[in-house]
Structure 1
């Protein structure tokens, strides 16, 4: 188990003092106009390129702060002290920022993003991610409907944005994140948003470190979901195996033990398909029968996956973040694997799973025929 006390091991202060100092930092960021800047961007269209475009149009006094907190550039400590006082130095203590020669400072590959009332540290885009935030993050967030008094589980928690969202309504949330670097940022985000009294952080893989016999009214998961050959390198946070289902199947297999009788699970995913069926349809049906579950599958769209398509190019470019191979070599191996599987499209989908209803069945709603452009939304 990894809990709040474990996660403060690198900081001299305890959880309550860290929460106070981070709340003071948040207050300064609200007062100086930083939150106003980052809140100006479309919350349903994550596009980091626009941050740089708008930086020179921002309030003049916070442009250096945008460099430091959003664009992962250095800022002079005297500037940060003048704008934020000593509050920003808690990031040094939590090892999310580092001091540089000449009195400069910089975040360690992180950006502070605002999303629908929450401030969260995430990975600065275009690097091998540890604390991922993307369009699929937004897609899952919009599908979570925690209710007062419920107990929620957020698997593959990352930045913790789903756990934070659930904690606005639920009685308690367990957030599980296997990556220790991401867990430290997750804990900081919980403290920054004042939710340390409702969210417990756990390490380990999926359900492994959770207390025995604990069940949940809502299980949320944005697992590694990109369908990509196992033999090719891909960022850890995204590699879902060749069908995009490698982690999702383990999550579903654990639901009979961890989902309450009246509970529901909400999972987002991406898989492969030919001109007709999804490659995971047969396995979904078997999982529903074997575990006595009701699986409601929402197909959101279908995108071509030929070598000239945006998704194909995006998969290969993401692989390059962690692979020594050239683009053309990765592309050729991916294209050959897709040909052998006889698949032509990638399909974004959402799963809503319960233990009540027409058990042992998969039921569908398919919006792909009327959704020409949307990824996670119609």
Structure 2
């Protein structure tokens, strides 16, 4: 165990020593990673000897070992940690890439159509809003690769990090070790609350659940499927929040929710679940995507579904047409992006306050006005 801890400590120190930490601190983790690198290289930024390292660790591309000669010790440590593979003079990615956000390293899947070790815009939407509470207990539901858990633990909290997928759990543990935070994070493989002690209480519960509204009749990659209104898993989380949230605790969640034609937001299942619970708080609406044939949401869902199951359609255009019709069959006219903050009911502050800052306009970035 001590040898393993020393291995990850050496790797973190080597990141600092070769300048990788500061390089990654200066590169955006949002948006198209290939475009980010192309723009950096085209503008003449990034020292020449670091370009192969960026292709390997930021994009997940294979790079000739000779082009990484200045980083021999780093590459060996990465190989020992299972992040890269050395083979016949080539350094290959294991499908993982590095990210740096809010002072922590996060290893996650390289860009692909159906990531399981996920780190995306919704991850950032939640992570940027976290306010760690030193000395308090945190619970991270649908934790994925663990960015929320890492930020809370780095802020002095003890965290239970819950993730259902075994492969993703292993990456969650890797990230805790890489940041020297495995002593503060307990990673649990399970579905939401099922593996938790029934009388456990947490001061800060955060969740980034599967949240994409997927119309009935469409098979969609597991990691993002939030049910037809986007609220399927969020509703399950809300149902038991009063049991696990401490009396002065707070819950924080990001999500998307579909709205039907002529329906008010009060008809959305998540809003109803909160109104019927012992919880109060705010739901801030930050953006809105209208459903029409070439809307960004329809195209995004169609591309993901097509790449995950290319034999179902002859082209992505056919997928777009069918998926739009499926949304119409569900009477979905638009989708809101929201941030939800909840606490146990206070006699002076009951119910859910919905704050619409979207003005029926898209987000500038996901979960940003």
Q: Is the 8 A contact 2:221 2:304 kept in 1?
A: yes
Shift of 1:202: 0.6
Q: What is the alpha-carbon distance in structure 2 between the residues aligned to residue 278 and residue 181 of structure 1?
A: 40
In structure 2, what is the equivalent of residue 98 of structure 1? 85
Residue 377 of structure 1 is matched in structure 2 by 368
CA gap of 1:249–1:180, structure 2 versus 1, over 3 A, is same
Which whole-Å CA distance do the structure 2 matches of 1:92 and 1:230 have between them? 43
Whole-Å Cα distance in 1 between the matches of residues 292 and 362 of structure 2? 17
Asked if structure 1 preserves the Cα contact closer than 8 Å seen for 2:211 and 2:225, the reply is: yes
Q: State the distance in 2 between where 1:208 and 1:230 align.
A: 27
Map Cα deviations across residues 166-210 of structure 1 (whole Å, 9 max, x no partner): 112243001111111111111111111111121111101111112
Which of 46, 52, 57 is residue 31 of structure 2 equivalent to? Answer: 46
Cα distance change on mapping 1:88 and 1:94 into 2, 3 Å: same
Q: Indicate which of 346, 357, 369 corresponds to 1:357.
A: 346
Structure 2 counterpart SS, 1:331: helix
Q: How far did 1:76 drift?
A: 4.2
The structure 2 residue matched to 1:331, chosen from 320, 323, 333, is 320
TM-score normalised according to structure 2 size: 0.89
Question: How many Å separate the matches in 2 of 1:271 and 1:370?
Answer: 13
Match of 2:211 among 212, 225, 233: 225
For residue 341 of structure 1, the aligned residue among 314, 330, 340 is 330
Task: Tell me the CA shift for residue 330 of structure 1.
Answer: 2.5
2:356 corresponds to 1:366:
yes
**2:124 is equivalent to residue 134 of structure 1:** no
**Contact 1:131/1:158, CA 8 A, preserved across alignment:** yes
Q: CA deviation at 1:249?
A: 0.8
**Residues 230/51 of structure 1: CA separation in 2 closer, same or farther (3 Å cut):** farther
Compute the displacement of 1:337 (Å). Answer: 2.0
CA distance in 1 between partners of 2:162 and 2:56 (Å): 29
Cα pair 2:49 2:67 within 8 Å, conserved: no
Q: Counterpart of 1:241?
A: 227
Q: Deviations over 1:44-68 (max 9, x none)?
A: x433121243247421222221222
Would you say 1:258 and 2:244 are equivalent positions? Answer: yes
Partner of 1:216: 202
CA apart distance, 1:215: 1.1
* Partners of 2:327 and 2:78 in 1: CA distance: 45
* Residue 279 to residue 235, structure 1, CA distance change in 2 (3 Å): farther
Does the CA-based 8 Å contact 1:218-1:263 persist in structure 2? yes
The structure-2 alpha-carbon separation of the partners of 1:277 and 1:176, relative to structure 1 and needing over 3 Å to count, comes to same
Say which is worse superposed, 314-323 or 216-225, in terms of deviation: 314-323
Task: State TM-score, norm by structure 1.
Answer: 0.87
SS at match of 2:250: strand
1:78–1:183 distance in 2 versus 1, CA, 3 Å? farther
Residue 284 (structure 1) aligns with: 270
User: Could you list the runs of 5+ residues in structure 2 that have no partner in the other structure?
Assistant: none
Structure 1 moving runs of 4+ over 6 Å: none
1:32 to 18, 34, 43: 18
Worse overlay, 306-315 or 367-376: 367-376
Structure 1: where are the runs of 5+ without partners?
1-13
1:264-297 alpha-carbon deviations (Å, 9 max, x no partner): 1111101112466566744334323443111421
Tell me whether 1:160 sits opposite 2:146 in the alignment.
Answer: yes
Deviation at residue 370 of structure 1 after TM alignment = 8.3
C-alpha distance in 2 between matches for 1:115 and 1:197: 20
The separation in 2 between residues aligned to 1:279 and 1:219, in whole angstroms, is 24
Q: Is the 8 A contact 1:153 1:216 kept in 2?
A: yes
Match for residue 129 of structure 2?
143
User: Which secondary structure state, in structure 1, belongs to the residue aligned with residue 21 of structure 2?
Assistant: helix
Is the CA contact 1:271–1:346 (under 8 Å) kept in the aligned structure 2?
yes
RMSD (CA atoms): 2.4
Q: Would the alpha carbon gap of residues 285 and 61 (structure 1) be closer, same or farther in structure 2, given more than 3 Å must change?
A: closer
The answer on 1:118 being equivalent to 2:104 is yes
